[in-house]
Amino acid sequence: MRSWHVRRWARRGGTAAVLAVALLATASCTGTVPPDAAAVEATPAPATAPATPTTSAAGSEPPVAPARIPDTLRFTGTTLTGDAFDATRLAGRPVVLWFWAPWCATCASQAWTVAEIAPQYRDTVPIVGVAGLGEQKAMKDFVTEFDLAGTPQIDDRAGKLWRRFTVTEQSIFVIIDRDGTVVHKGFLDGAALTAKVAELARA
């Protein structure tokens, strides 16, 4: 599956061609977290996620209790589009954090899978990109090239989220279950990522 994405990506022009050269020139993508340019901040959050007010009619289902907010989701940030991001709003659902860099050929090969499955699971298993180890313009170009605009992509040039989850290289997926427990941290190819997200959605 991973090689299929690489071939598909290699046929595209622009940034994809440059990344193909990087793939041939390096055996693997490695990098370190930069020390400055803050974009993500850990912030205190309420004990539970805010519940949407509901009115119960006779015979209808009772209101759903607000989800408990685990420590793993107590952070905020800013997306590459400039929007505020609050992870506490994802409480009660499994969450996939994808740590990527704009110059990483492995990340590029995985981007097609993320772009394909993220919209399908937006409400059940949100996939959130965490961009780091690069310049903002390159990150935005990466999102455009690989059709990732429909998925939240946090601008983490300062590496705060990378350090928070002890991620030291890319491309890494951190999977958090409904209770806020990290159940996976590491590399996943397209097929493995698709299978894990589908499993989480059924659980």
Digitized pLDDT (tens) for each residue of the chain, 203 residues in all: 444 443 344 334 444 433 333 333 344 455 555 444 444 444 444 455 544 444 444 455 556 556 789 999 999 999 999 999 999 999 999 999 999 999 999 999 999 999 999 999 999 999 999 999 999 999 999 999 999 988 999 999 999 999 999 999 999 999 999 999 999 999 999 999 999 999 999 98
Task: Give the number of other CB atoms < 10 A from CB of residue 187.
Answer: 14
Per CATH, the number for 2-47+65-202 is 3.40.30.10
Give residue limits of the domains in the chain. 2-47+65-202
State CA 75 to chain mean position distance. Answer: 14
Task: Give the number of other CB atoms < 10 A from CB of residue 188.
Answer: 21
Nearest Cα residue to 147 out of 192, 103, 170, 117: 117
Task: Give the number of other CB atoms < 10 A from CB of residue 101.
Answer: 21
Distance (Å, whole) CA 115 – CA 194: 11
Distance (Å, whole) CA 120 – CA 77: 24
Q: How many residues does the chain have?
A: 203
What pLDDT is recorded for position 118?
A: 95
Distance (Å, whole) CA 9 – CA 112: 8
What pLDDT is recorded for position 30?
A: 53
Task: Give CA separation, 38 vs 85, 169, 200, in Å.
Answer: 14, 19, 32
What pLDDT is recorded for position 61?
A: 59
Distance (Å, whole) CA 108 – CA 16: 8
Distance (Å, whole) CA 192 – CA 203: 17
Nearest Cα residue to 174 out of 102, 87, 115: 87
- Kindly compute the dihedral angle of the four CA atoms of residues 141, 88, 37, 135, in this order, to the nearest 10 degrees: -10
What pLDDT is recorded for position 203?
A: 83
What pLDDT is recorded for position 143?
A: 97
Nearest Cα residue to 143 out of 53, 81, 78: 81
Distance (Å, whole) CA 133 – CA 184: 22
What pLDDT is recorded for position 64?
A: 56
Distance (Å, whole) CA 203 – CA 182: 15
Given a contact cutoff of 8 angstroms between Cβ atoms, the answer to whether 131 and 7 are in contact is no
What pLDDT is recorded for position 96?
A: 98
Tokens coding 158? 């300062």
